Structure 1
Amino acid sequence: MAAETYDPRRTAVLLVDPYNDFLSEGGKVWPVVQSVAEKVGLLDNLRAVVGAARQSGVRVVFVPHRRWEPGDYESWTHPNPTQRNIMVRHSFARDTWGGEFHPDFQPRPGEVVAHEHWAQSGFANTDLNMQLRQHGITHVILIGLLANTCIESTGRFAMELGYHVTLVRDATAAAKPEMMHSAHELNGPTFAHAILTTSELLTALPGEGSAA
């Protein structure tokens, strides 16, 4: 595979669902992903990618899941299994600590926070595509949670819309190693243009070769 290159004027890091419930000790979903997250060094790798993107001029775009509110999904005809779990667990509840972004991943002035997605794709029923197009983005780098749900669905949708898609193996996590394997070894190659490690991505970002 040829070395990937990323023009900072055309590239965005999509940071998906960086909530305390996913990423912080005490979060409702942290125990589900903790083993895989710690094994791959998720938090350090997220910090590295976001920091390198900002330093190199690559746009950081926040892609948040719907923050649960009372009544969500209860009258729906076909809530999916994740939404049914949210109805019970109240993951990412609005106006709670768990529904806030992790303190290390706060939007900076000028950074886009897309409209919240209801299911798994950050594009479906949101303004994400419009925001990316208006900022001239052609390449998207996906990081965050979960590898086999929101990351995969957002990446597939991005490919269908004509974006160049990069997955980062160790800047995401899932409930089981098998899910990570499926996301990166089986499903990812069917839609992603590049599947890199954090170290490989840092080398590819403008001015970041020495950081890797």
Structure 2
Amino acid sequence: MSGEARYPPRETALLVVDPYNDFLSDGGKLWPRAKEVAEGVGLLDHMRQVLAAARERGLRVLIVPHHRTAPADYTTWEHLSPTQHRVRQAQVFAEGSWGAQWHPDFRPREGEFVAAQHWASSGFAHTDLDLLLRQHGVRRVVLIGMRANTCVDTTARFAQELGYHVTLVRDAIASFTWEEMTATFELNAPLYAHAVLTTEEWLAAVGEGSRTALP
């Protein structure tokens, strides 16, 4: 099947999940935990390749960001998740910090969207992501970024629940442990994702046909 048929540019969006320095850059607060898996799968190079191809082919590109943390966040909340407790304590993605800036290779360009920040794991819950996608005729989403078993998995599941065709590019996604990667791609994703591809496979799928310019 041709790339044009599988991922028509006018109805396909690339979702780049949480491309913060804290996750992806040397010196980031979470990079030491992510480094082994990220380097093992070639995360950054594969994310660069997928993003470049999406832009070249004219796919919509959206950043799907986690909430940037402020010192007073969560202080009055009744039901913080364990992850939110850790985020609060470590001030991960701290507002105004270098760690909460985009990794320089994944900064949005003019005409690309940044969805409202999500407070937990789903890029759709209490954000405008679904609105942005539907207002631009998007029916298929392709996900890359961090973290496999939290924000990527939850956003992808939610997308499927909302009726989107969902693709995960498995070597352009990483996590903190290999066990988390196994849980995501061998156990969870086969139950909801319409495609789980390597970067090479996805590039082949979108490599045919001419570029369709976005309005």
TM-score range, shorter-chain basis?
A: over 0.9
Alignment of 1:68-83 (within 5 A): 68-83=69-84
Deviation at residue 205 of structure 1 after TM alignment? 1.1
> 3-state SS of the aligned residue for 1:156?
helix
In the other structure, the counterpart of 2:125 is 124
Per-residue CA distance 1:159-202 (angstroms, 9 max, x = gap):
00000000111001111101101100100011100000010000
Q: Could you tell me how far 1:75 is from its partner in structure 2?
A: 1.4
1:104 match: secondary structure:
helix
Counterpart position of 2:203: 202
Query: Normalising to structure 2: TM-score of the pair?
Result: 0.94
Moved over 6 A (4+): none
Cα separation, 2, equivalents of 1:184 and 1:97: 31
Aligned twin of 2:29 = 28
Q: Distance in 2 between matches of 1:24 and 1:162?
A: 34
Separation of aligned partners in 2, 1:3 and 1:149:
32
1:174 aligns with 2:142: no
Alignment of 1:12-161 (within 5 A): 12-161=13-162
What displacement does 1:3 show? 7.3
* SS of residue matched to 2:85: helix
Aligned residues: 208
Task: Provide the rounded CA distance (Å) in 1 between the counterparts of 2:65 and 2:88.
Answer: 17
Instruction: State the shift of 1:119 in Å.
Output: 0.3
CA positional deviation for 1:206: 4.3
Matched residue type, 1:75: T
- Partner Cα distance (1:144, 1:81) in 2: 21
Distance, in Å, in 2 between the alignment partners of 1:170 and 1:74 is 37
Q: Which amino acid aligns with 1:205?
A: V
| Runs of 5+ unmatched residues, structure 1 | none
Aligned-residue sequence identity (percent) comes to: 57
The Cα shift of 1:207 comes to 3.8
Q: For residues 128-154 of structure 1, give each alpha carbon's deviation from its aligned partner in whole angstroms, at most 9, with x where no partner exists.
A: 000000000000001100000000000
**Does the CA contact (< 8 Å) of 1:141 and 1:168 recur in 2?**
yes
